A = this chain, B = another copy of it.
């Protein structure tokens, strides 16, 4: 099982956000691309993946690869599924999670509560981290990455406490969704050693 946690600092939590202006909805487009990178293969869904989107540190959307339905890779489709989740979140009581479409759950939960619940090797993706090949091949990696903004001081402090490793995926500062793709490829190939089908 591979897990990803993506922090959307300003991402809109309004279910009425416009599909015609995803960047204007607090860079909602960034979260959509992260979902596509996390789950989609050429003609399949990665079933061994779980992804959490944390919006404004107060709402978490969880996506389960082995349950997902209706997911196609284009941003507008992903955004429409996430809009459903935002709508479902409005009915959530306390920290209870509400399923909007198969495999997508929303809960009123921030980053710290989420981090406390995670079980696995927590890996912060960060420009100044150790080289990805030094990570080895953890059984249950949980990659934590930020959106287009840097981690806040509070997030960095939490990660300093909870993270088992801080990893860089290369010398260029790349988008979060691209980092997810790189990490998948690293794990798919068992650390760049296995390419046969």
Interface pair A77/B23, CB less than 8 Å apart: yes
Within 8 A of B (CB), among A158-197: 168-175, 178, 181-182, 184-185, 188-189, 192, 194-197
Known A-B contacts A22-B74, A197-B127; the reply to A173 vs B42 at CB < 8 A is yes
Which residues of B have CB within 8 Å of A127?
197
Which residues of B have CB within 8 Å of A40?
175
Contact with A23, one of B19, B42, B74, B128 (Cβ below 8 angstroms)? B74
The number of chain A residues with a CB under 8 A from chain B is 46
Which residues of B have CB within 8 Å of A138?
none
Chain A contact residues, CB within 8 Å of chain B? 19-20, 22-23, 29, 33, 36-37, 40-44, 72-77, 127-128, 130-133, 148, 168-175, 178, 181-182, 184-185, 188-189, 192, 194-197
Q: Which 4 A-B pairs have the closest CB atoms?
A: A131-B195, A42-B173, A29-B74, A181-B181
